[in-house]
Amino acid sequence: MAKMWAGRTAGNTDSIADDFNSSIHFDCKMFKQDIEGSMAHAAMLGAKNIITSEEAQALIDGLAEILSDLESGKIAFDMSCEDIHMFIEQELTARIGDTGKKLHTARSRNDQVALDLRMYLRSETEDIISLVRKLLAVITDVADTHKASIMPGYTHLQRAQPITFGHHLMAYAMMLLRDIDRLADCKKRMNISPIGSCALAGTTYDTDREFEAEKLGFDGIALNSIDGVSDRDFCAELMSDIAILMMHLSRFSEEIILWSSWEFKFIELSDAYTTGSSIMPQKKNPDMAELVRGKTGRVYGDLLGLLTTLKGLPLAYNKDMQEDKESVFDAVETVKMCLQVFIPMIETMSVNTANMKTAAQKGFINATDLADYLVKKGMPFRSAYKISGQLVSKCIKENTVLEELPLESYKEFSELFDNDLYSEISLEACVSKRISKGGTSVKSVEEQIEYARNKI
Ligand code: ARG
């Protein structure tokens, strides 16, 4: 069939070139946005008397029918069309005749595709935000349950200081709050209408770009038509935000994987979110968490692919830009899938507080508090730090812990030590004394939970 764009050319394109050029197998996802955009465009053309109001109505009715037929499955995409835009226009003309050919007045596929993509992605962005909100709600609930469950806090993956599991989880809540902020901010810039930029230079028709933008729920219009058709910042921004969100999920996954190992045994994932081994009957593998960690690399690849595609492009539209969609769709679908499995995985995991507590008791993680004890009795911190270190070393040699070392041994190092040291270095005391804002005490964690809940 002759191409709709066969203006200057007469010969047919080679079928391999057609396949290579075609994008309908992935841009068909945007059929709804394409039709809604075209309906608004037809309404604008009618309102501005560029076409008659009867013609505008015929276009709108025809488009509405196509939309409902596609949604009900009555018709399918014609994969021989180059892209979704060509398919809808071809279908419209087949249905309503020559009036269909008026739809593309004062428009180009260049501004059309930019419009469709912005509309498609703004709704995906909302979906992602609402999934992150759900995850946040789950995390804050688990944190609330475990705001007093003591575990070792780590630096360098070495036991450092006692914290609570709730405190640890709330760190992830803070990350997710920032993710929501970033995504919402990205949506603001995304929600600017490019339609009316036309091919690149604007148009000689007396169009009303604001009319179309408003009809389609945009907050404003692209103020430079060349930028309107060339800009894919909104894809790069969304993918950057998704990449950061995936990085957070990946760090969390890494901890889930560590915590469910026999070496830690801090948590156990529900059977519903683990797998077995085909050879080792004892195995329960955290595949979901591993896949989230793995897919993070894939999403980084999506972002880098797009940035690389864009980096050498002259203005305005270039066909290279058709490559934007597969990567951004992949990033969006991947993060949604990851969140959908992550939320119930966290919701259903069981927490082994006894093992956490035992681990907290064995790493001298109250040594800082021992030093602080001496400081409060008047010793300079550096000297107190030194003595505390020597006492840890003595305990290691004698195979004991600070809580069980007798007072006489303490006295050999400093006369400032007294019986009250034992209550000061208990794990519970170490946690409950950390009342600084953002700290690990139950009260501080409760404040964090309240803050997060208010934000959700
Ligand atoms: N399928 C194209 C894309 O996704 C639509 C725009 C094509 N415009 C053009 N002049 N070839 O980018």
Establish whether residue 321 lines the binding site of ligand 1, counting it when its CB lies within 6 angstroms of any ligand atom: yes
Q: In a 10 Å sphere around its CB, with 0-12 CB exposed, 13-18 middle and 19+ buried, how is residue 379 labelled?
A: middle
- What CATH code would you report for 15-105? 1.10.275.10
Residues 244-276 pLDDT 10s: 999 999 999 999 999 999 999 999 999 999 988
Residues 198-257 pLDDT 10s: 999 999 999 999 999 999 999 999 999 999 999 999 999 999 999 999 999 999 999 999
Distance 322 CA to ligand 1 centre (A): 6
Enumerate residues 6+ apart whose C-beta is below 8 A from 222. Answer: 192, 193, 194, 197, 228, 231
Name the nearest CA neighbour of 173 among 352, 346, 357, 412.
Answer: 346
Identify which of 8, 104, 322 to mutate to test ligand 1's pocket (most ligand atoms within 8 A of the CB).
Answer: 322
Distance 182 CA to ligand 1 centre (A): 29
CA 57 to chain centre: 41
Identify which of 8, 34, 82, 113 to mutate to test ligand 1's pocket (most ligand atoms within 8 A of the CB).
Answer: 113
Task: With residue 209 as reference, give the H or E element that holds it.
Answer: helix 209-215
Q: How many CA atoms lie within 13 A of 108 on its CB side?
A: 19
| Model pLDDT, residue 363 | 80
Calculate mean pLDDT across residues 436-440.
95
| Model pLDDT, residue 374 | 96
Establish whether residue 324 lines the binding site of ligand 1, counting it when its CB lies within 6 angstroms of any ligand atom: no
pLDDT band at 1 (very low <50, low <70, confident <90, very high): low
Identify which of 9, 197, 230, 319 to mutate to test ligand 1's pocket (most ligand atoms within 8 A of the CB).
Answer: 319
Can you give the residue ranges of every domain in the chain? Answer: 15-105, 110-146+162-203+229-358, 359-443
Instruction: Assess whether 156 carries a catalytic annotation.
Output: yes
Residues 109-146 pLDDT 10s: 999 999 999 999 999 999 999 999 999 999 999 999 99
Name the nearest CA neighbour of 82 among 36, 15, 32.
Answer: 15
Q: Which residue has the higher pLDDT, 107 or 283?
A: 107
Q: Give the separation between CA 438 and CA 440, rounded to whole angstroms.
A: 7
Establish whether residue 33 lines the binding site of ligand 1, counting it when its CB lies within 6 angstroms of any ligand atom: no
Q: Give me the DSSP letters along 70-120.
A: HHHTSS---TTSSSHHHHHHHHHHHHHGGGGGGTTTT--HHHHHHHHHHHH
Distance 14 CA to ligand 1 centre (A): 18
Residue 343 vs residues 144, 184, 242, 292, 334: alpha-carbon distances, Å: 16, 20, 16, 12, 14
| Model pLDDT, residue 60 | 98
Q: With a cut of 70, say whether residue 352 has pLDDT above it.
A: yes
Q: Could you tell me if 36 and 60 are in contact, meaning their C-beta atoms sit under 8 angstroms apart?
A: no
Catalytic residue among 68, 123, 130, 277: 277
Establish whether residue 230 lines the binding site of ligand 1, counting it when its CB lies within 6 angstroms of any ligand atom: no
Share of residues in the chain with pLDDT > 70 (%) = 99
- Joined together, the tokens standing for residue 279 give 């050879």
Q: Could you tell me if 266 and 351 are in contact, meaning their C-beta atoms sit under 8 angstroms apart?
A: yes
Is residue 9 helix, strand or coil?
coil
Q: Give the separation between CA 67 and CA 36, rounded to whole angstroms.
A: 9
Q: Could you tell me if 383 and 370 are in contact, meaning their C-beta atoms sit under 8 angstroms apart?
A: no
Instruction: Assess whether 409 carries a catalytic annotation.
Output: no
Distance 111 CA to ligand 1 centre (A): 9
Q: Could you tell me if 443 and 434 are in contact, meaning their C-beta atoms sit under 8 angstroms apart?
A: no
- Report the nearest-CA residue for atom 11 of ligand 1: 319
Establish whether residue 111 lines the binding site of ligand 1, counting it when its CB lies within 6 angstroms of any ligand atom: no
How do 192-193 and 220-221 pair as beta strands?
A: parallel
pLDDT band at 280 (very low <50, low <70, confident <90, very high): confident
Q: Give the separation between CA 297 and CA 302, rounded to whole angstroms.
A: 9
Q: Give the separation between CA 387 and CA 385, rounded to whole angstroms.
A: 6
Establish whether residue 109 lines the binding site of ligand 1, counting it when its CB lies within 6 angstroms of any ligand atom: yes
Quickly name the fold that domain 359-443 has. Answer: Ribonucleotide Reductase Protein R1; domain 1 (1.10.40)
Highest mean pLDDT (candidates 2-11, 277-286, 345-354, 363-372):
345-354
Quickly name the fold that domain 110-146+162-203+229-358 has. Answer: Fumarase C; Chain A, domain 2 (1.20.200)
Q: Give the separation between CA 327 and CA 23, rounded to whole angstroms.
A: 13
Calculate mean pLDDT across residues 332-350.
98
- Joined together, the tokens standing for residue 204 give 């000689």
Distance 21 CA to ligand 1 centre (A): 9
Residues 136-173 pLDDT 10s: 999 999 999 999 999 999 999 999 999 999 999 999 99
Establish whether residue 235 lines the binding site of ligand 1, counting it when its CB lies within 6 angstroms of any ligand atom: no
The DSSP call for residue 285 is B
Q: Give the separation between CA 331 and CA 304, rounded to whole angstroms.
A: 11
pLDDT band at 19 (very low <50, low <70, confident <90, very high): very high
The DSSP call for residue 287 is H
Distance 319 CA to ligand 1 centre (A): 6
Distance 46 CA to ligand 1 centre (A): 25
Catalytic residue among 156, 278, 350, 436: 156
From the CA of 325, give the closest atom in ligand 1.
Answer: 4
Q: With a cut of 70, say whether residue 295 has pLDDT above it.
A: yes
Task: With residue 39 as reference, give the H or E element that holds it.
Answer: helix 31-47
Establish whether residue 110 lines the binding site of ligand 1, counting it when its CB lies within 6 angstroms of any ligand atom: yes
Establish whether residue 322 lines the binding site of ligand 1, counting it when its CB lies within 6 angstroms of any ligand atom: yes
Distance 400 CA to ligand 1 centre (A): 72
pLDDT band at 281 (very low <50, low <70, confident <90, very high): confident
Backbone angles phi, psi at 118, to 5 degrees: -65, -40
